[in-house]
Each structure stands twice: as structure tokens, then as C-alpha cells.
A and B are shown apart, each in its own frame.
Chain A
């Protein structure tokens, strides 16, 4: 039987934990709203650049551009977007599971990684897979400059050294506060089909270009996949915060239950102790009376 005092101190510590999880829940919910807003803020640019790229790419079919070129796949580069911190439910482990399945389905292909976020890096290290680039400590308020090193690695490995024949992004999609889905998509080579459906309404014919259509394409293409990576990172933040919010909500509810149970045990024990003491006193008195 635990002592009264030990139960009391446990109740106190669980209460403290509840306070912390409650606070973390509220912080996560505020941050999630901001992250969602940032995803929305970045959307018009992404749509516009898709539209432009589609238009120019279809006009420029004859030109062999490395970013559109489909090559036989030996090595796939993976941009793995995960969270820096834990306590955010199962989103990272779900993502890693999806990634492992993806890799198992392609047994003849080598994989190399660029990780954004500490959890993904930890996984790649533990699995002993080649790590080409690491970004950590991206701030949720940070600008696109923070993820540019990742896109530089992609340019280098895919277009300049031609080590990678495909590049995929893995991240956690924000569906709703309750649901976050591990997701992946092919970043490069750019599939002209995926750009379709973004044709410009009301504009026909070609543009005047200054300086040259290809120069403009050279600027647009890196911006295009930078924007996608940036978008995925923002979305991952929204997922992280909503997952953390839910995890902390559950933890708070659990703490409440534990406190309830402990308080019950505490009161029962206290009552038992009082009863015991009374019976001791009364039986003591009885003994004196009889004596």
C-alpha cells in the first residue's frame, strides 16, 4: 500500500504535467494557424509559376532541357521533409514507413538523401543511407532562403553532375487538424503533364521575350522547384503543429484521468486510515474501561 504522502506528490506531479501539455497544446494551435496562413500566402506564386512554365515549356518543346529529360533511373534523390522536434504524434514514423515502402518497391535503385528536419536525418543516419545534404533548425517564420541550400544540392546532383535521374519529395500533407497524411511526389524531371490544367485563361499567342525564352526558362525552373520544396516545408509545419496539438490534447485528457484515479485512491486510503485510527482509539478506550 503506498503511503498517503507518496500519492499526494504523484498527484502534484501529474498536475504539473497537465499544465505543461495544456500550454503546449495552446502554443501548437496558435502556431498551426500561422503556418496554415503561410501556406495560403505562398500559393498564388506557386500557381502562377506553374502556369508560366507550362506555357513556355509547351512552346519550347524542341529544346532538350535537362529538367524535362527522362533518363533511365539508377539513383533517386530524395528530399525528406520532417520535423526537428518530437512530441508530435506519429507523423514522422508514418512518413518513414511510407518512405521505406517506396524504397522496397524499387530494389534496383540507389537512394541518396537531402533532409530538412532532424528526425529525417536521424532515420537516414541510422539506416546507413547516403546523406548528401542536411538542413536543420528551419524556422516556421523563416523565409525561402532557409531551404535554398536543399534546392542547390538538387540542381548540382540532378542537372550538373547528373548523379540523380529523379528527385522526389517526401513530406506530411496537412489534410485537417485531425488528419495528416504522409505524402510524396516527383519533383524532377518535370512532367509537362503535371503542369497542364494551369493554362492561362484569356491569353493566346506568344509573348515578346527579353532577353530570350531560354534565359527566362533558366530562371523559372529553379524557382519552380524551390517553390514546391518551400511549400512542402510550410505544409509540414502545419502538420507538425496540428499533430502536436492533438497529441498534447490527448496527453492533457490522460493526465486528467490519472489525476481522477489517484485522487480516488488517495481519498479511499485516507478514509481507511481514519477508520483504522478511530477503531484503534475506541478499542484502546474499551480496554481502559474494562481494566
Chain B
């Protein structure tokens, strides 16, 4: 027995499916959700979403937004969602390198924050890719 999980961004609705378990990263840390969780609302950090449905494990890159947890329903309103399979490793690596170089230069406080965010995002993307090399889950929820 699981709960209904909906993933959506401002641009599209990714899927609504029954799943067994969700691990997400909020601004105050990682947390897991099973059926019957207390009503809970938090902001999302940049991080990995792990979803388990039966014997299938799924991984998503999620950045920013809000998650609403209800006992039988979880809704994710994210700014960015990417399936782990969709992450472009070479692009992420390049963006990270660029940001790294830019941070060495004397720059304004504002752009320093921007580049640090890029560094963090791309770092998470690469970590997800790294982990996927060891075991690759099969996607579901594709119509």
C-alpha cells in the first residue's frame, strides 16, 4: 500500500502515480515519506528525489519549490525537475567548471552567490549521475 505522488512544474505535469516511498530534500534536511505521514509543508532544496514503487527505484533531480505531504497524497510543486536519465553529464561538468573558474575571479557579491548556486546544482546533478552508474532504475509513469 502506498500513497499518491504528483510531480509538477509550472510548465508541465510530470506524473501522478501510486508509490510506496519517497525520499526528498527539504531546506531543513532530507526526509522520507511513507503512507500516513503527518500533514507537512516544506520548501525544497536542490537535491535528489528517490521514489520507490514496488521493486522499481526512480531518481529525479529537483531544485526549488514546495512539497505538500498529506497522509495519502504528496504533491510536489518544483521549479525544476529532471529525470536522472535526462541529466546531461558533459553540460553539467562544463557548467561546474565555468562556475568554479568564475569564483576565482574578483566578482560582485551577487554574482558570487549565483555561481555558488550553479556549483551546487551541477554538483548534485553529477552526484546523481555517479550513483546511477552503479544501479540503473527502470522508469515508470511514462504515457
Residue of A nearest to B76 (CB): A48
Residue B47, interface by CB 8 Å:
no
Residue B119, interface by CB 8 Å:
no
Task: Give the chain B neighbours of A48 by CB distance below 8 A.
Answer: 6, 8, 68, 75, 77
Residue B42, interface by CB 8 Å:
yes
Per-residue B-contact encoding for A187-215, CB less than 8 Å = 1, 0 else: 00000000000000011011111110101
Residue B95, interface by CB 8 Å:
no
Beyond A48-B75, A49-B77, A220-B66, is A209–B8 a contact (Cβ under 8 Å)? no
Residue A259, interface by CB 8 Å:
no
Task: Give the chain A neighbours of B10 by CB distance below 8 A.
Answer: 42, 45, 144, 223, 226-227, 230
Judge whether A208 and B66 touch: CB under 8 Å.
no
Per-residue A-contact encoding for B28-57, CB less than 8 Å = 1, 0 else: 100000000011111100000000000000
- A-B pairs with beta carbons under 8 A, tally: 76
Question: In whole Å, how far is A41's beta carbon from the nearest beta carbon of chain B?
Answer: 4
Residue A128, interface by CB 8 Å:
no
Residue of A nearest to B29 (CB): A210
Task: Give the chain B neighbours of A223 by CB distance below 8 A.
Answer: 10, 65-66, 77
B-side binding surface: helix, strand, loop or mixed?
strand
Q: How far is the CA of A213 from the CA of B27 in the complex (A)?
A: 13
Residue of A nearest to B69 (CB): A207
Q: How far is the CA of A1 from the CA of B70 in the complex (A)?
A: 82
Judge whether A203 and B39 touch: CB under 8 Å.
yes
Task: Give the chain A neighbours of B77 by CB distance below 8 A.
Answer: 45, 48-49, 52, 223
Q: How far is the CA of A41 from the CA of B6 in the complex (A)?
A: 13
Judge whether A210 and B42 touch: CB under 8 Å.
yes
Question: In whole Å, how far is B137's beta carbon from the nearest beta carbon of chain A?
Answer: 25
Residue A219, interface by CB 8 Å:
yes
Residue B133, interface by CB 8 Å:
no
Residue B12, interface by CB 8 Å:
yes
Judge whether A211 and B39 touch: CB under 8 Å.
no
Residue A284, interface by CB 8 Å:
no
Q: How far is the CA of A210 from the CA of B28 in the complex (A)?
A: 7
Judge whether A210 and B27 touch: CB under 8 Å.
yes
Beyond A203-B70, A219-B66, A223-B77, is A45–B8 a contact (Cβ under 8 Å)? yes
Pairs of residues from A and B, 3 with the lowest C-beta to C-beta distance, nearest first:
A210-B42, A207-B41, A41-B12
State the A residues within 8 Å of B (CB): 38, 41-45, 48-49, 52, 56, 143-144, 202-203, 205-211, 213, 215-216, 219-220, 223, 226-227, 230
| Between-chain CB contacts (< 8 Å), 28 pairs | A38-B11, A41-B13, A42-B10, A44-B6, A45-B8, A45-B13, A45-B77, A48-B8, A48-B75, A49-B77, A52-B68, A52-B77, A56-B41, A143-B11, A144-B10, A202-B70, A205-B39, A207-B39, A207-B68, A208-B38, A209-B40, A209-B41, A209-B42, A210-B28, A211-B42, A216-B42, A226-B10, A230-B10
